[in-house]
């Protein structure tokens, strides 16, 4: 389908100098105009005057084909497609040449960048000679949403969705929602200098979740599998038995008669609950449950004491796990964080010395529903009273193998703690003294480039330390508190809080402590260099509190695998764009919020959870949805119906009732495996047909070039990231996007060699997610087969896995291979 040159136009974006300072736009215009093409340029094509320019020119000149030279199509591709569609043009008639990330930003010499820009535009122009209009494929979106994780992030997201009318399932693996926030007694707030009661803010929200008609709450439930895509996720859930029916009235009689004491994970390992219990007294749902690992009856012994005590007949030892299946349109992952294992920093003695604890453990201790009911104590004073007579040598070493939970040794003197009326007659125990000196150590695990440390700042710990210091000083004004810090980060309005805590008389020492030493009376010495005075200090302390880093929870790591979403190097779920798409995951329809996405405090978590809900609702509301990725399409005229392509690794191809081969748009990933198999060439991936690729290759190539076939997924992002990272490579590297390397056949490679390619490089996505795990080995095998078929020319074929962070490695490969090509030239 040939179009006269006057019906085709090129639009070039200056990108406010990002492109125009590196590419001589006048020279580009001149070169293309000489070929009879009209060229327009504008400062920002992505702005609304920029788009109006495109639309007006399409109308004015009755354009039939448009090439836009701008930033990467992954940034504004959708915007420009919408723009040409508004002007009445099929989206296939638009091509975008990447003049920024793959040209202006990677070729420092203006002449090189200009020459490359011309070839990139020429490639796209040639490609437009071989396009067919693309049919929009639309799918219906399920109107239900799923929120995974019942902490403050998940609760906020679920309530926002439900209030917007979206039927929402909230899934929580524990027996109650509430998450980490429920553990913290008091929370800091940016606008007040006072500390607020966490449960007073959280509890009403939890009850609202339970009562909301649009929310289905599933506790003790985990997500096992997720199938499907784009607004039609089939989710398999497993709900573990709690052995107590919903008729439970939470009277607590069962717990009072239960003979088994167990470690309470909620109270950081304190042995203060029974095998039948509620997570905490404000639990939602307000139902007791049995710990199957410790219950006597469930472990083959005869007990049944709880069943006898229960007046509602709610105990059910025969309850089984249930497997549920949901169909949802959008998913929000709100699976939270865990505290860094501070025992990895052995020099601070966590897990060795009893009086070293973490901020979370201090928060539990200060909580009135905590193991000491809010009383500040030295843990060594609460356990064995004979601690005083142990010898000096033994005291520093014998407890090395002690379990890391600080409260493990606290005796359970009150098994009825969970009941609403807590007993007050245990005051006869001699009151342990209040610790007089507390030292807090910041950045334990965070901002630490050593092995086992984490390079990032965990964001919440400076404020948590200030909050605890303030709480303690208010309750025990004689307690001396010193905070050892690297930098205090009290961002925004929190600075007021920081200043107030300074005014309270809390001391600050700038320095990362070297070691914590225990003395014979179990008190501690913190050795630190005060780097402002350059003095070595030995700070005596009764308690040392470690502000441990925030890590993705195991639930976050697991769910990222189940949902097949990208993670960062630490394991947090990676947002698609840190500024523009902060809650979108790498998969359409899956969103993330709270500490599953990165370290943050409660205030930021709630803000982000609200946005995730808004994005999920918008995704669901946009039904039926137009699919953006390109799929396999069958030419029924040439298809012989042999059925070879039915070996599709995603089972996307099948015979219809009338015996024709058809493509399931929800299953097809557009990988191109079928195009390799079909001997008749009857299957092609729309947008990546052989004739289109051939044309683009002709346009971009010059003698001695390195031609890269880049997978349109992670690989393409990595190529863009080379530009974002201010790296460079020679301008004779020409990259052509393909759905995957599988669409490239021998003929295309021969074509590239004939048009000057010195060598050809396949850049493929690593097998890091379920789709790529299937495609990568196929692509590698395909590459090896091509190499063999090409005989002597096979040595000119190369293959490279592209990992997003490894921009340097990929740029290096480009440079090395391009240099070889230059030598041939």
Minimum gap (Å) between residue 549 Cβ and other proteins:
14
Which of 147-155, 177-185, 338-346, 411-419 is the region at the interface with other proteins (rule: CB under 8 A)? 338-346
How many C-beta atoms lie closer than 10 Å to residue 287's C-beta? Answer: 20
Hey, what are 319's tokens?
Answer: 């309850």
Considering beta carbons, is residue 569 or 784 the nearer one to other proteins?
Answer: 569
Candidates 368-376, 379-387, 514-522, 795-803 — which segment interacts with other proteins by CB under 8 A?
Answer: 514-522
Contacting other proteins (CB under 8 A), which of 431, 515, 622, 651? 515
Contact pattern from residue 340 through residue 379 relative to other proteins, giving x for each residue in contact according to CB under 8 A and a dash for the rest: ----xxxx-x--x---------------------------
Q: Specify the stretch interacting with other proteins by CB under 8 A; choose among 339-347, 474-482, 609-617, 742-750.
A: 339-347
The least distance separating other proteins from the CB of residue 392, rounded to whole angstroms, comes to 5
Q: For residue 371, report the phi and psi dihedrals to the nearest 5 degrees.
A: -65, -25
Nearest approach in angstroms of CB 537 to other proteins is 16
**400 or 655: CB nearest other proteins:** 400
Residues 436-455 that bind other proteins (CB under 8 A): 450-452
Q: Which stretch binds other proteins (CB under 8 A): 100-108, 235-243, 387-395, 755-763?
A: 387-395
Q: Which of 680, 585, 604 is nearest to 638 (CA)?
A: 680
In the complex, least distance from residue 232 CB atom to other proteins, rounded to whole angstroms: 43
Of 358-366, 385-393, 678-686, 769-777, the segment contacting other proteins by CB under 8 A is: 385-393
- Give 16 or 346: the residue with its C-beta nearer to other proteins: 346
- CB nearer to other proteins: pick between 310 and 454: 454
Smaller CB separation from other proteins, 402 or 614: 402
The structure tokens listed for 803 are 């990992």
Nearest to other proteins of 78, 536 (CB atom): 536
CB 399 to other proteins: min, Å: 10
Stretch that binds other proteins, among 266-274, 394-402, 612-620, 807-815 (CB under 8 A): 394-402
At 351, phi and psi to the nearest 5? Answer: 90, -10
Residue number with CB closer to other proteins (252 or 349): 349
Q: Alpha-carbon distance 268 to 784, whole Å?
A: 54
Q: Indicate whether 392 belongs to the interface with other proteins (CB under 8 A).
A: yes
Chain Cα centroid distance, residue 589: 14
User: CA-to-CA distance for 597 and 552, rounded, in angstroms?
Assistant: 8
Closer to other proteins by CB, 528 or 778: give it: 528
Both structure tokens of 311? 């007046």
213 vs 393, beta carbon nearer other proteins: 393
- The least distance separating other proteins from the CB of residue 536, rounded to whole angstroms, comes to 12
CB of 452 or CB of 777, closer to other proteins: 452
Q: How far apart are the C-alpha atoms of 589 and 622, rounded to whole Å?
A: 11
Where on the phi/psi map is residue 236: left (φ > 0), alpha (ψ -120 to 50), or beta? beta
Distance CA 817, CA 796 (A): 9
What is the Cα 637 distance to its own chain's centre? 45
**CA pair distance 465, 479, nearest whole angstrom:** 15
Residues 380 and 392 sit within 8 Å (Cβ to Cβ): no
> Would you give the distance in Å from CA 586 to the centre of its chain?
8
Report the distance separating Cα 618 and Cα 589, nearest Å. 10
Q: How far is the CB of 439 from other proteins (least distance, A)?
A: 17
Segment contacting other proteins by CB under 8 A, of 81-89, 133-141, 512-520, 784-792: 512-520
How, if at all, do strands 221-229 and 232-239 pair? antiparallel
Which of 308, 325, 400, 794 touches other proteins (CB under 8 A)?
400
Q: Supply angle C-alpha 324, 330, 332, rounded to 5.
A: 85
Contacts of 493 (CB under 8 A, 6+ apart): 190, 191
Give the bridge partners for 339, in sequence order: 550
Q: Which pair of structure tokens corresponds to residue 779?
A: 């692509």
Q: Which residues pair with 662 in a beta bridge?
A: 654
Cβ 339 to other proteins shortest distance, Å: 18
Residue 347 vs 531, nearer CB to other proteins: 347
Of the candidates 508, 506, 491, 502, which has an alpha carbon nearest to the alpha carbon of residue 457? 491
| CB of 287 or CB of 518, closer to other proteins | 518
Q: CB nearer to other proteins: give 198 or 356.
A: 356
Q: Distance (Å, rounded) from C-alpha 42 to C-alpha 56? A: 13
Distance of closest approach, residue 405 Cβ to other proteins, in angstroms: 18
Measured from the CB atom, the residue of 396 and 725 that comes closer to other proteins is 396
Where in 634-693 is the site for other proteins (CB under 8 A)? none
* Distance between CA atoms of residues 666 and 671, nearest Å: 13
Residue of 180, 246, 183, 254 whose CA lies nearest to 219: 246
Q: How far is the CB of 519 from other proteins (least distance, A)?
A: 10
State whether the Cα torsion 566-569-572-577 is positive or negative.
negative
Q: How far is the CB of 777 from other proteins (least distance, A)?
A: 25
- Name which of residues 1 to 60 contact other proteins (CB under 8 A): none
Q: Which stretch binds other proteins (CB under 8 A): 149-157, 329-337, 395-403, 728-736?
A: 395-403
Cis check for the bond before 313: say yes or no (omega within 30 of 0).
no
Q: Which is nearer to other proteins, 401 or 428 (CB)?
A: 401
Minimum Å distance from CB 383 to other proteins?
20
Total residues interacting with other proteins, rule: CB under 8 A:
20
**In 180-294, which residue ranges form alpha helices assigned H by DSSP?**
198-211, 253-257
* Cβ nearer to other proteins, comparing 156 with 395: 395
Shortest approach of other proteins to residue 712 CB, angstroms?
35
- State the CB neighbour count (10 A cutoff) for residue 426: 10
- For the bound state, the minimum distance from the C-beta of residue 396 to other proteins, rounded and expressed in Å, comes to 6
Give the footprint of other proteins on residues 451-480 (CB under 8 A): 451-452
What span, in angstroms and rounded, lies between the C-alpha atoms of 171 and 184? Answer: 22
Taking each helix axis as running N to C, give the angle between helix 152-163 and helix 602-621, from 0 to 180 degrees, rounded to the nearest 10: 40
> Which residues face 139 on adjacent strands?
625
Q: How far is the CB of 391 from other proteins (least distance, A)?
A: 8
Per CB under 8 A, contacts with other proteins among 517-536 are: 517-518
Contact pick of 47, 247, 397, 640 for other proteins (by CB under 8 A)? 397
Q: Quick one: 70 or 547, whose CB is closer to other proteins?
A: 547
In which element (H, E) is residue 823 found? helix 807-824
Stretch that binds other proteins, among 27-35, 392-400, 709-717, 727-735 (CB under 8 A): 392-400
What does the DSSP assignment read for 488-505?
----TTHHHHHHHHHHTT
- Enumerate residues 6+ apart whose C-beta is below 8 A from 96: 67, 68, 69, 70, 73, 77, 80, 124
Number of Cβ atoms within 10 Å of the Cβ of 305: 19
Minimum separation from the CB atom of position 393 to other proteins (A):
3
For residues 229 and 343, which CB has a smaller minimum distance to other proteins in the complex?
A: 343
Distance in Å from the first CA to the final CA of the chain? 35
Using CB under 8 A as the criterion, which residues of the chain lie in contact with other proteins when the complex forms? 344-347, 349, 352, 391-394, 396-397, 400, 450-452, 514-515, 517-518
């Amino acid at each position: 389908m040939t179009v006269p040159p006057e019906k085709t136009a090129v639009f070039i974006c200056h990108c406010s100098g990002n492109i125009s300072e590196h590419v001589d736009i006048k020279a580009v215009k001149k070169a293309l105009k000489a070929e009879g093409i009209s060229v327009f340029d504008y400062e920002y094509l992505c702005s609304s005057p920029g788009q109006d320019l495109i639309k007006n020119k399409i109308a004015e000149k009755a354009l039939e084909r448009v090439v836009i030279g701008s930033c990467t199509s992954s940034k504004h591709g959708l915007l420009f497609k919408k723009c040409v569609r508004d002007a009445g043009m099929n989206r296939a008639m638009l091509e975008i040449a990447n003049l920024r990330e793959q040209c202006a930003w990677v070729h420092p010499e203006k002449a090189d960048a200009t020459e490359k820009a011309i070839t990139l535009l020429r490639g796209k122009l040639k490609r437009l000679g071989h396009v067919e209009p693309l049919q929009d494929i639309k799918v219906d979106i399920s109107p239900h949403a799923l929120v995974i994780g019942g902490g403050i992030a998940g609760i906020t997201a679920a309530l926002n969705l439900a209030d917007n009318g979206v039927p929402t399932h909230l899934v929580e693996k524990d027996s109650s929602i509430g998450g980490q926030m429920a553990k913290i007694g008091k929370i800091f707030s940016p606008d007040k200098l006072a500390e607020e009661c966490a449960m007073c803010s959280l509890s009403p929200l939890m009850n609202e979740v339970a009562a909301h008609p649009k929310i289905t709450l599933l506790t003790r439930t985990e997500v096992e599998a997720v199938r499907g895509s784009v607004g039609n996720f089939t989710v398999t859930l497993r709900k573990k038995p709690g052995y107590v029916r919903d008729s439970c009235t939470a009277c607590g009689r069962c717990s009072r008669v239960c003979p088994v004491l167990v470690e309470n994970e909620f109270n950081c390992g304190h042995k203060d609950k029974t095998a039948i219990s509620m997570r905490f007294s404000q639990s939602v749902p307000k139902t007791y449950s049995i710990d199957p690992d410790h219950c006597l009856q469930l472990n083959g012994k005869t007990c049944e004491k709880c069943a006898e005590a229960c007046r509602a007949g709610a105990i059910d030892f025969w309850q089984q796990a249930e497997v549920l299946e949901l169909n949802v349109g959008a998913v929000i992952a709100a699976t939270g964080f865990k505290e860094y294992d501070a025992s990895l920093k052995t020099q601070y003695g966590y897990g060795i010395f009893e009086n070293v604890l973490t901020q979370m453990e201090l928060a539990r201790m200060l909580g009135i529903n905590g193991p000491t009911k809010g009383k500040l104590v030295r843990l060594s004073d609460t356990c064995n009273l004979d601690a005083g007579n142990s010898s000096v040598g033994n005291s520093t070493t014998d407890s090395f193998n002690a379990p890391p939970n600080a409260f493990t040794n606290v005796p359970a003197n009150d098994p009825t703690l969970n009941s609403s009326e807590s007993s007050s007659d245990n005051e006869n125990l001699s009151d342990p003294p209040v610790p007089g000196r507390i030292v807090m150590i910041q950045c334990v695990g965070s901002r630490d480039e050593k092995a086992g440390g984490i390079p990032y700042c965990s964001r919440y710990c400076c404020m948590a330390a200030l909050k605890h210091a303030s709480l303690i000083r208010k309750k025990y004004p004689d307690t001396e508190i010193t905070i050892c810090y690297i930098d205090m980060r009290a961002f925004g309005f929190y600075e007021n809080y920081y200043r107030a805590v300074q005014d309270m008389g809390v001391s600050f020492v700038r320095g990362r402590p070297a070691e914590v030493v225990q003395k014979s009376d179990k008190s501690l010495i913190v050795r630190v260099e005060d780097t402002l005075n350059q003095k070595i200090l030995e700070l005596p302390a009764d308690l040392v509190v470690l502000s441990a880093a925030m890590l993705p929870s195991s639930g976050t790591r697991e769910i990222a695998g189940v949902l097949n979403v990208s993670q960062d190097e630490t394991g947090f779920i990676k947002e698609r764009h840190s500024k523009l798409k902060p809650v979108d995951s790498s998969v359409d329809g899956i969103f993330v919020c709270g500490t599953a996405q990165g370290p943050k405090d409660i205030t930021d978590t709630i803000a982000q959870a609200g946005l995730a809900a808004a994005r999920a609702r918008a995704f669901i509301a946009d039904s039926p949805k137009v699919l953006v990725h390109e799929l396999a399409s069958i030419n029924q005229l040439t298809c012989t119906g042999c059925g070879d392509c039915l070996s599709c690794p995603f089972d996307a191809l099948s015979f219809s009732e009338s015996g024709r081969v058809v493509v399931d748009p929800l299953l097809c990933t557009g990988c191109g495996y079928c195009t390799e198999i079909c001997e008749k060439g009857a299957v092609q991936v729309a947008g990546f047909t052989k004739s289109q690729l051939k044309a683009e290759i002709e346009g971009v190539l010059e003698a001695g070039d390195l031609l890269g076939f880049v997978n349109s997924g992670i690989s393409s992002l990595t190529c863009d990231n080379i530009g974002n990272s201010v790296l460079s490579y020679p301008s004779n590297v020409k990259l052509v996007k393909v759905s995957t390397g599988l669409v490239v056949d021998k003929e295309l490679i021969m074509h590239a060699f004939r048009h000057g390619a010195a060598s050809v490089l396949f850049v493929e996505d690593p097998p890091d997610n379920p789709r790529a795990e299937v495609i990568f080995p196929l692509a590698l095998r395909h590459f090896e087969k091509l190499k063999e078929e090409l005989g002597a020319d096979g040595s000119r074929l190369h293959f490279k896995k592209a990992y997003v962070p490894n921009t340097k490695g990929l740029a290096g490969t480009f440079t090395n291979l391009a240099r070889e090509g230059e030598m041939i030239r």
